Every structure is written in structure tokens, then in C-alpha cells.
Amino acid sequence: MIRMTSALLTASVSAFALAATACADASTDTGGANAASTTQEADGGRYARDGIPEGPDAARQIIANAPEAAWRTVDADRLLVIATRNGDIWVELAPEFAPNHVARIRELVEEGFYDGKVWHRVIEGFMAQGGGASDNPGLATDKPPLQAEFLIGRGLDSDIRISELQDRVINPREASTRARAGFWNGFPASTMPIAQAGIRADGQVESWLLHCRGAVAAARTSDPNSARSQFYITTGNPAHLEAVYTVWGRVRAGQEAVDAIRVGTMGETMGFRPDFIMSMRMASELPESERLTIEVFDTGTPDFAVYLEALQAANNGRLPDVCDIEIPVRITE
């Protein structure tokens, strides 16, 4: 059975009309970006022939009519499955941006480290943090702390291509400096303009994955290089964490299970009983009968460019903030 994520079915019809409110937030600015001017057009395709769908149902039509070539199947060895009482959370890993953090997660998952740990700090509309023990919320692996990987360097010849759709404040708590924001491989991402790589001494610009809802990142102390094993999943869009915490994955299915995790903080919230991480496994280690096939709308395709145009048209001609753009996902059970 093939289904779309429930959030997408809602968002593609009506919720993008609400993005104008989000775009007015002081921490972001779309700059009136035009999707067609920043992404490849569907040359010679059906949209050039028949025109782009219009109206409130346009985004849904584009998704429904997208060819198979517009969908990217996530490899089972890049999918982390977190089992909870509310259902499974399926996370796509991003070793291209955080190779050491992803390697650490794989290692700990193989050891069964997370099985039976708890979601010990859960703040509604912000994030759910897990990996602590029921009798010790500060528990962490005894493996060495990891060096921060919240920024990577990219040159003009990099294989990592980030679309530059809009201007966005990097981190509203750090400064008012702006960068470009868009998508890489279905991950919301931000970058200093790649053109600057041509004039920099090292030939590289800084790039990072964004803390949009569904981001999975490394928890740490005030020391940027102190992450060991704890992690969190965002339930909001915490812009103050951008480019200072390492994002190593993104929820592709099961965000509703994240939203349902009990809210509270161990040692602070009276009567709080934390939910458990029942298990964490790589999808490739599960029997095939228990695996989901997850396909993500390829954000580098002409069809995605048309999808962005439809969202822009539905939002009074302004592209919604990158964190408010739903990435379509197809799930086969």
C-alpha cells in the first residue's frame, strides 16, 4: 500500500496559505525569491506543454502526477528506525554533513545502547531529547566526545549541491548575518553563496543542515565538542540552534509519533513519567516484511521546481520560508 505522509496531504491543499504569517517572522526573510528563477525548469516536459496547474489544489496535482523519476528511494542502510509506544520514527541519516556523528549513531545502535533509554527532556513545540536513562537523565556513552560538525565546507566542484532559494538569517541569537537557504537531497539546508567560493582563499563556503521540524541532531553541553550519544528531534523550527548544533538526520515518517512523546523534563516536571525508546535499529537489519519503502520527492528535479512555483503562487507570490515547505514523501508498507 502506498500512502503520502498525513502532514503533506494537509499542507499541499491549504496550509501553505498560512505561510505568509511565518514569512513575517523576524528571524527569516524569503526576499521575494522566485522559485522558477533559482531552479531548473521542466524544459520540454508536460508543464511546458500543458502549463503549470493553478488553484488551491495545484500542489497536490503536481505531486500526484510527478513521474517516477521525480522520486528518490531512501536506501534501507541510511534509515534509522526508532520504536516508541506511539509508533515507529523513520530517520534518514546524512553522513555527507555529519560523518562522525552518523558513524557514532550506527555504532551505538549496533551495540543496542539506546534500547530501553528514555525521552528525558521533551518541550512542546520545541524538541524531544532522548538517550538518558530512567534513573539518570544525564547518562551518555563512555566513548570519546565528538568534534562539532554543524558546518561543512563546499567548493565549486563539490558533489553537495544546495539550491539557493531565499535569504535567511543564519541564527537570530548570534547576529543578523544572512545566508542562502534551500534544499539538498530533500533536507532543508543553508549555505553562504556558493559563488563566494571562487573568491575565497580556501575556495570553500560554509554550509549546514537546518533545524526545521523533523530535524534530528546531537545534544551537547555548552561545549560545542561535547556530543556523545544523546540526541533530539525537533517538533518546531528552533532557529536559535542553527549552525551551532550538529544535525545528522531527518524524520521521513513517524513525526506524529515524535509529537506524541510525553512532555516534561526529568528532575524538573512534577509527576513526569518519560516515554521509553523501545529500540533503535537500522532498517537494513529488519526483516524485509517489516521495512517501509520511503520515497522522497527529489528536490533537484524540474518537478520540484514546479511544485515550488505552485506554493509561491498560493502564497501571494512569495515563496514560504524553507522550514514551512513540506517535502513530499511516499511510503509503501
**Residue 161 within a domain:** no
pLDDT digits (tens, 9 = 90+) for 65-100: 999 999 999 999 999 999 999 999 999 999 999 999
Give the CATH number for residue 213.
2.40.100.10
Q: How far apart are CA 230 and CA 192, in angstroms?
A: 29
Is residue 320 in a domain? yes
**What is the chain's mean pLDDT, rounded?**
89
6 and 49 in a single domain? The answer is: yes
pLDDT more than 70, % of the chain: 84
- Tell me whether residue 196 is in a domain: no
What local confidence, expressed as pLDDT, does residue 185 receive?
A: 98
Say if residue 259 is in the same domain as residue 303: no
Task: Say if 179 falls within a structural domain.
Answer: no
Residues 47 and 143 in one domain: no
3-state secondary structure of 301: coil
Query: Whole domain around residue 137: which residue ranges?
Result: 76-150+208-293
Q: Quickly tell me which residue has 527532556 as its cell.
A: 121
Residues 130 and 96 occupy one common structural domain: yes
The reply to whether 66 and 104 lie within a common domain is no
Do 243 and 80 contact (CB within 8 A), yes or no?
Answer: no
As for how many domains the chain has, the answer is: 2
106-146 per-position pLDDT tens digit: 999 999 999 999 999 999 999 999 999 999 999 999 999 99
Low-confidence winner among 19-23, 70-74, 209-213 (lowest mean pLDDT): 19-23
- Helices H / strands E in the chain, number of each: 8, 18
Beta bridge partners of 88: 83
142 and 252 share a domain?
Answer: yes
Whether 305 and 284 share a structural domain: no
**Is 236 found in the same domain as 121?**
yes
What residues pair up with 136 in beta bridges, in sequence order? 133
Both 20 and 144 in a single domain?
Answer: no
On whether the CB atoms of residues 322 and 308 are closer than 8 A, the answer is no
Residues 282 and 303 in one domain: no
Residue 9: what pLDDT? 39
Best CA proximity match to 39, nearest among 211, 154, 178, 183: 183
Task: Tell me whether residue 169 is in a domain.
Answer: no
Q: Is 18 inside any structural domain?
A: yes
8 & 145 share domain? no
Task: Record the pTM.
Answer: 0.88
Residues 146 and 236 in one domain: yes
